[in-house]
Amino acid sequence: MDLAQLMEACNQYAKPAGFRPAYGTAGFRAEASLLHSTVFRCGLLMAARALKTGAATGLVVTASHNPVTDNGVKLVEPTGYMLDQSWEAWADKLADAEDAEALCAIIRDLYQKEDIPYGSGVVMLAHDTRPSAEELIKAAGSGVKALGGLPIVCGLLTTPQLHWMVRHCNNSLKHTESCYYEEIATGFSHLVHSCKAKRQVLTVDCANGVGAEKLKALAERLSGKLDVTLRSTGEGGLNDGCGADYVQKERRFPAGMEDCQNGARCASLDGDADRLVYFQRLPGGQLQLLDGDRIAVLAALLIRDILDRLSHDAASPSVGIVQTAYANGASSQYIREQLRLETAVTATGVKHLHAAAERFDIGIYFEANGHGTVLFRPALIERLHKLGDSQEAAKDLLALLGMVNQAVGDALSGILLVEAALRRRQWGLNDWAQLYTDLPSRQLKVKVKDRSVVTTADAETRAVTPEGLQSRINESVRGAPSGRAFVRPSGTEDVVRVYAEAQTQQAADKLAQQVARHVHELAAGIGAAP
């Protein structure tokens, strides 16, 4: 490590005065013009992480479902997973260093405490469609080079594609974008090859993001097997009145799809294509949402159908579903009582769900926002390969393994998962929707000076601070029929998110408003200055 060269590079990417970046659920996000120093420092971090692990790491410049004026960075482990949580503190220290001298001191401390060897680490870089991406990718590459690393610029990709590529690269597998399409398309083709159900056209809101180009490429690879019509492909603003987050949170039709026909099969991606929700228009004109909870249930039904045909030479594989407190209570009840599957509840953030899902032979995790996937334990994969030549069910499970992204939630892979599951059961969206009836819910957010003043416990279902907040929430919940509510600080902005559900929509709305008022009264005015 050349300290003089490092100091010079650090001086080129000075942190804006007063800017206090904080590592959120998956990385950093802010208004794009503030982020050059942060992304440069993340380049430093991932170059060091590559040296520590002796394998390629990754970095994606994206702000996911945020407005186009924002940007951010997501960090990728050699496994393809999100950054190891033990290194999040280093990310915060580097991002918050006031000047080049302080930054170099932290780098020296990092090398010493983590016992990092000197050398050249490989970091794979990608970005979404935001106009600020070009300069920020240069900043990331400069950070990698400043530690003597090798940045590999992979260009315009969805976030899950870069995760997939890093994972495959480190497993000595083909890891080009073309290979990504080939692998997930091959799995899908196997799972639906004997289905007799008539194909239905799927109309997809692409949030004016990177998913439009990439889903088009996937559909071309699956010509004759997957029929899609793409909307919001770039003609409007990124995530502007469209996208999975908009549809899931607002329960409104996305821009460009307000005229969709009753019963039409529709879906929405988010800006970097790692979230997916389905929806349809009901005869009365209202939107019916089929969110991540329902995708998890549908995946479990597909897996159960296949496992029922699998002859076991050992114990039956364990299957579990991981959710967060945002999961609708009706979905959790259906999983326990009808599917009779083991469940786990974790804090919000796929890094928590992913870790919990690894405890099962087949772990299914989806947040209600549509971010999730299905994980297969390595020991089970080995068993399936041994059975594959003799059992069609084992072949089906291996096809499913190839179709779903083992690194992270992936909206393109998720579309194939949903379409395969529906087609094999000869179901439409109405059949899927009738599995259970969601309890009415409402989500709100309260602007605060400092989100850290709200802390939680028990998988974010109980507020610890400010003092007295949880008792107020409990009192409001007692007054709502079948009521449930919780609050949590956002992982990306200074707001506190409120979730409430109850027996009726009116009761859920009222409960959410009451809880939001409690947050405003007890937390909105305390903490750091805006």
What are the tens digits of pLDDT across the range 242-281?
Answer: 999 999 989 999 998 998 999 999 999 999 999 999 999 9
**CATH topology match: 3-156 vs 183-288:** yes
272 is in an annotated binding site: yes
Q: Is the pLDDT of residue 130 over 50?
A: yes
Mean pLDDT of the chain: 94
Q: Residue 430 CA to chain centroid, in angstroms?
A: 26
- Strand ranges, E, within 315-376: 319-324, 342-346, 362-366, 372-376
What are the tens digits of pLDDT across the range 184-223?
Answer: 999 999 999 988 877 889 999 999 999 999 999 999 999 9
Give which of 252, 283, 286, 282 is closest to 268, Cα–Cα.
252
What are the tens digits of pLDDT across the range 43-78?
Answer: 999 999 999 999 999 999 999 999 999 999 999 999
Residue type, 379: A
370 is in an annotated binding site: no
Q: Is the pLDDT of residue 1 over 70?
A: no
The pLDDT confidence band at residue 240, using thresholds 50, 70 and 90, is: very high
CATH superfamily of 441-523: Alpha-D-phosphohexomutase, C-terminal domain (3.30.310.50)
pLDDT at 312: 67
Task: Read off the pLDDT of each residue in 31-53 and give the average, rounded to a whole number.
Answer: 97
**Residue of 64, 268, 331, 441 with catalytic role:** 64
Tokens of 449: 């000076």
Task: Read off the pLDDT of each residue in 463-483 and give the average, rounded to a whole number.
Answer: 96
> Across the chain, which distance is largest between two alpha carbons, in Å?
68
The CB-side HSE value for 431 (13 A sphere, CA atoms) comes to 11
Q: Is the pLDDT of residue 418 over 60?
A: yes
Q: Is CATH 3.40.50.720 the right assignment for the domain spanning 292-433?
A: no
Task: Read off the pLDDT of each residue in 315-327 and give the average, rounded to a whole number.
Answer: 93
Strands 462-465 and 495-501, how do they pair?
A: unpaired
pLDDT at 299: 98
Q: What is the CA radius of gyration of the chain?
A: 23
Question: What is the C-alpha separation between 407 and 463, in angstroms, rounded?
Answer: 31
Could you write out the DSSP letters of every residue in 385-437? HHHTTT-HHHHHHHHHHHHS-SSS--HHHHHHHHHHHHHHHT--HHHHHTT--
Crossing angle between the packed helical segments 392-403 and 378-387, to the nearest 10 degrees: 140
Q: Is the pLDDT of residue 424 over 50?
A: yes
pLDDT at 530: 40
Question: What is the C-alpha separation between 62 and 68, in angstroms, rounded?
Answer: 10
Catalytic annotation present for 64:
yes
What are the tens digits of pLDDT across the range 403-417?
Answer: 999 999 999 999 999
431 is in an annotated binding site: no
Q: Please indicate, yes or no, whether the overall pTM of this predicted structure exceeds 0.75.
A: yes
Which class would CATH give 183-288? alpha beta
What are the tens digits of pLDDT across the range 438-472?
Answer: 999 999 999 998 989 999 999 999 999 999 999 99
424 is in an annotated binding site: no
CATH superfamily of 3-156: Alpha-D-Glucose-1,6-Bisphosphate, subunit A, domain 3 (3.40.120.10)
Question: What is the C-alpha separation between 259 and 240, in angstroms, rounded?
Answer: 17
What are the tens digits of pLDDT across the range 139-150?
Answer: 999 999 999 999
Domain boundary assignment for the chain: 3-156, 183-288, 292-433, 441-523
Question: What is the C-alpha separation between 414 and 210, in angstroms, rounded?
Answer: 16
pLDDT at 403: 98
